[in-house]
Amino acid sequence: MKKKITLGLALIGIISMSSFEIMDNNGRAVATGSPGENACNQAGCHSTYALNSGTGSVKITAPTLTNWSYTPGQTYAITVTVSQTNLKLFGLGFEALQSTGANAGTLTAGTGTVLKSGTISGNSRTSVTHALNGGSGTGSHAFTFNWKAPATDIGKITFYCAGNATNSSNSESGDYIYTTSQVVTSPSTVGILEQHEFAKQMNVYPNPATNQLQIMNESNSFTTMNVSILDLKGALIRQQQSITTNELIALDNINAGVYLLKIESEGKTAFKQFVKQ
């Protein structure tokens, strides 16, 4: 009987240790909403509310990552801000991935964050996640960590991020999950966009812009243009037809971020990247 009790206690201990690892109060790896991943809002996790259904947000900023284009081998400070009014504890999961789903560059944890890893579709992925109670703040918390770009130009990279706005109840119920992503272009990609002569004749200013944008036609040989604002995934945000070089392009109701301005005139097309503040 004594042996049975001892064995039972041992089994309970093993189960408890396994549960602690699975339910670790640090963040979880591979839960950013990137291809092949959930975003912590699935059954058995923070599933009280639908994804991105609350009044909060998660945003990625990187002040030195100019125009969201990386220089191979350079290290950049990345900030992820998770916000929701009246809440005081926040979490995150962040990854930098190639189009193949593999890691892109190297992540280094900062204050209040840790690194974790998991495997998705054969790719071992590294995630920056929150440490236990590492995301406290009134209404929001900004997590800052470093990302070192790959040593060579590997083309487009995408940052994937999930933010958790919690009710500090020490349980997984009643929390809101938000997701976002950000495409980071390579030097070669930007070069291709501006390599032909028509593109070289077109400039946009101010850049970064706030409420409006204007096209400067250096040759003055194209009197009217059709313009489209696209996000970095190619989705259409806004169009204006038959504008001139002196006409302003309104940027109201467009979220801050990096966009492409597609300029078309007389059968020619150019793409210009700009930042909306």
* pLDDT, tens only, 211-256: 888 887 766 556 678 888 888 777 888 888 888 766 788 898 899 8
* 103 contacts 125 by C-beta, under 8 angstroms: yes
Give the torsion sign (CA, 167, 171, 177, 183). Answer: positive
- Cα angle 39-29-115, degrees, rounded to a multiple of 5: 135
Q: Where are the domains of the chain?
A: 24-186, 194-276
Q: Percentage of residues in the chain with pLDDT exceeding 70?
A: 81
DSSP state of 7: H
Diameter over CA atoms, the chain:
96
Per-residue pLDDT band for 93 (boundaries 50, 70, 90) equals very high
Specify whether the backbone of 211 is left (phi greater than 0), alpha (psi in -120 to 50) or beta: alpha
Domain 24-186 fold = Immunoglobulin-like (2.60.40)
Cα–Cα distance for residue pair 254/237, rounded to 1 Å: 8
Same topology between domain 24-186 and domain 194-276? yes
DSSP states along 172-223? SSS-EEEEEEEEEB-HHHHHHHT-SHHHHTEEEESSSBSSEEEEEESS----
**CATH number, span 194-276:** 2.60.40.3080
Least confident of 140-154, 173-187, 206-220: 206-220
* pLDDT score at 195: 46
